[in-house]
Amino acid sequence: MNPVKIKICGITNEVDATAAVRAGADALGFIFYTGSPRYAEPERVAEIVAGLPPFVVPVGVFVNAAVDEVDGICESTGIQVAQLHGDESPDFCNKLDRPVVKALRVRDESWKSDAAAYDVGAVLLDTFAEDRYGGTGLTFDWRLVEGSPHRVILSGGLNPRNVAEAVRCVLPYAVDTGSGVEREPGRKDHGKIRAFVEAARGSS
């Protein structure tokens, strides 16, 4: 079994990016949705991405942005993968000029039929909430993941205390955390990042 990939999301500054890289993160997430407390200005992200090692993947997080906006921001910042957290259609995903991760909010088995329509590199499964597109800090029933037609990136309430159990239960392609390793929105706790990576890797 391949080791689980690890993404640290909601990076807003170089210090946190460096800490995540040193801890062993495979990917860093940068949020371009202005409604998020973890929003990062594209110009700032470009500076951070320019300093990343070659095998750490920068991921851009978007919510209901236009195709041209997604591709334009990715081009100007060096983002390699587009992670879509809104109501983007399968056709929308197919129009983008880079690999796509489609986020789906899970509350029951119906996410599988939704996912089946998408021809994307992976689906990111997050906890359903009526009032937001992600970042709830809450887990969902991991048993609902069984039988996914896609690679699964598991998200939703993951932290250093529960990620090992999550990996053993779901066997995901990757795990993703943002609020679970923060001291406040947009500012990471570097000790929690290290603990998260160690726990995730130790269980895979």
HEC secondary structure over 58-118: EEEEECCCCHHHHHHHHHHHCCCEEEECCCCCHHHHHHCCCCEEEEEEECCCCHHHHHHCC
The residues near 38 (Cβ < 8 Å, ≥ 6 apart) are 9, 10, 12, 31, 135, 178, 185, 186
Catalytic residue list contains 9:
yes
Catalytic residue list contains 126:
yes
- Exactly one of 9, 16, 74, 176 is catalytic; name it: 9
Residue type for position 5: K
- Exactly one of 16, 26, 93, 126 is catalytic; name it: 126
* Positions marked catalytic: 9, 126
